[in-house]
Amino acid sequence: MVPESLASLEGRHLLLGVTGSIAAYKAAELVRLFKKAGAEVQVVMTPDATRFITPLTLGTLSEREVLVDLFPENEPGSWTKHVHLGRWADLAVVAPATAQTLARLAHGFCDTMLAATLLSARCPVLLCPAMDHDMYHHPATQRNLELLRRYGYEILPPEFGELASGLKGDGRLPDPERIAAHVAALLARRHSLAGKHVLVTAGPTREMIDPVRCLTNPSTGTMGFALARAAARRGARVTLVTGPTLLPTPPGVTRIDVTSAQEMYEVVLQHADTADFVFMAAAVADYTPVETAPSKLKKEADELVLRLRRTPDILAELGRRRRPDQVLVGFAMETDNALENAREKLRRKNLDWIALNRLNEPGAGFGTGTNRLTLLHRSGHLEELPLLPKDEAAEALLDRVLREIPSG
């Protein structure tokens, strides 16, 4: 019996990358699970993986010839095979993924059949790292994983448990059943926003006082970029309007850079009409200098008075103009009476959802890689999400918001 959780695998094309880890034997069970669920499986092994498990075993289970060599001797002229494979696959999963293969992928090396295939793949790619505890926690490996996340790779973190070294720690490859269930969930999610236009704002704004000074805030844009990335992964057309940030553009996302609140207002309104979902994650300045000095202000007087005026309220304007079928999600960053203020903002601005950031909690809010969101729906429903990496917080938020869509 195929578990219901694997139903989305039926008829799918899966590419399974296997690398030189002691956990490579688990790939055999994974192939079996994928095949049993009705998927077609193409295994690609690194040359070092063949020292751990034979291509004969994986080829027999997958009923397809396993690919290992980038330059196969008896098949001259097959150099473009990796490109076709990258397009054939609905999803690629590398399990186990060694530190070496993670490093290769993070830095764009193309010296194995597996790396070449993944570099040209258009489908989602799930990496399942497996290694010794200290290798996993080495800053080089962690940095590579961070880079890979930014490039849009999905990562299934290893588990804590007994390792091949005899030690206990992080680095254990999850069981094949868990990996298969994760692959199935990714595929089911994949098309959940197909054909939809998602508009996301991110980052701070900068209100110029003179050509070299500005009013701004500590937002880094991480949460908005995570949302844009997650929406693109689900098949949406994504427009990301961002204030100044150093973050790279997530794959498949159309990015528009703006500086001031006024510019963000204009660009957002230009794109809002066609948007099915709007996520306003930017930290937009509420006030801007009444005048921007044309040249640098000299430091002469001991005190300087800045006159400020309100910036346009983007969210309130979106709430006024919204189509009945448009879903509008705001963010709130509050220091006092957080819940009451967020509820009030939800109602006053005519939003469907508000995601409340807790500024006072460790690991949440500005400039951190994690976030603890409280989600409020206009119906009064409230859900506290746990402290999560921002990518996972973005996925959880999308899951909740999408549940609201009437089926069909």
Ligand X SMILES: Cc1cc2nc3c(=O)[nH]c(=O)nc-3n(C[C@H](O)[C@H](O)[C@H](O)COP(=O)(O)O)c2cc1C
Q: How far is the CB of 19 from ligand X (least distance, A)?
A: 4
Span of 13-21, 200-208, 261-269, 311-319 interacting with ligand X by CB under 6 A:
13-21
Is 22 a residue that touches ligand X (CB under 6 A)? yes
Number of residues engaging ligand X in binding (CB under 6 A): 16
Task: Give the full edge-to-edge strand order of the sheet including 382-384.
Answer: 253-257, 237-242, 197-202, 277-280, 327-334, 353-358, 373-377, 382-384
- The answer on whether 139 is annotated among ligand-binding residues is no
Is 83 a residue that touches ligand X (CB under 6 A)? no
Is 46 a residue that touches ligand X (CB under 6 A)? yes
CA distance 273 to 68: 49
Site for ligand X in 335-354 (CB under 6 A): none
Find out whether 268 and 314 touch, Cβ atoms under 8 Å: yes
Q: How far is the CB of 157 from ligand X (least distance, A)?
A: 14
CA dist list (Å): 48 to 21, 54, 85, 91? 9, 10, 21, 23
Is 357 a residue that touches ligand X (CB under 6 A)? no
Span of 16-24, 73-81, 262-270, 383-391 interacting with ligand X by CB under 6 A:
16-24
**Out of 217, 337, 350, 371, which one is annotated catalytic?**
217
Question: 40 or 132: whose CB is closer to ligand X?
Answer: 132
CA distance 388 to 384: 11
Q: Which of 135, 295, 268, 258 is nearest to 198 (CA)?
A: 268
Site for ligand X in 88-147 (CB under 6 A): 98-101, 112, 130-131, 135
- The answer on whether 315 is annotated among ligand-binding residues is yes
Taking CB under 6 A as the criterion, the residue among 17, 20, 224, 319 binding ligand X is 20
Place of tokens 């295939």: 117
- The answer on whether 299 is annotated among ligand-binding residues is no
For the four alpha carbons of 189, 195, 196 and 202, in that order, the dihedral sign comes to positive
- The answer on whether 48 is annotated among ligand-binding residues is no
CA distance 70 to 50: 14
Q: Which of 192, 215, 218, 186 is nearest to 203 (CA)?
A: 218
- The answer on whether 298 is annotated among ligand-binding residues is no
* Known catalytic residue at 144: no
Q: How far is the CB of 392 from ligand X (least distance, A)?
A: 24
Site for ligand X in 233-262 (CB under 6 A): none
Question: 103 or 308: whose CB is closer to ligand X?
Answer: 103
- The answer on whether 331 is annotated among ligand-binding residues is yes
Question: Is-cis flag, bond preceding 96, omega within 30?
Answer: yes
- The answer on whether 227 is annotated among ligand-binding residues is no
Question: 95 or 198: whose CB is closer to ligand X?
Answer: 95
Q: How would you class 312 by CB atoms within 10 Å of its CB: exposed for 0-12, middle for 13-18, buried for 19 or more?
A: middle
SS (HEC) of 153-195: CEECCCEEEECCCCCEEEEECCCHHHHHHHHHHHHHHHCCCCC
**314 phi and psi angles, rounded to 5 deg:** -65, -45
Which residues are known binding-site members for CTP? Answer: 286, 296, 312-315, 331, 345, 349
The residues annotated as belonging to the active site are 217
Interface residues with ligand X (CB under 6 A) are: 19-23, 46, 48-49, 98-101, 112, 130-131, 135
Which residues are known binding-site members? Answer: 286, 296, 312-315, 331, 345, 349
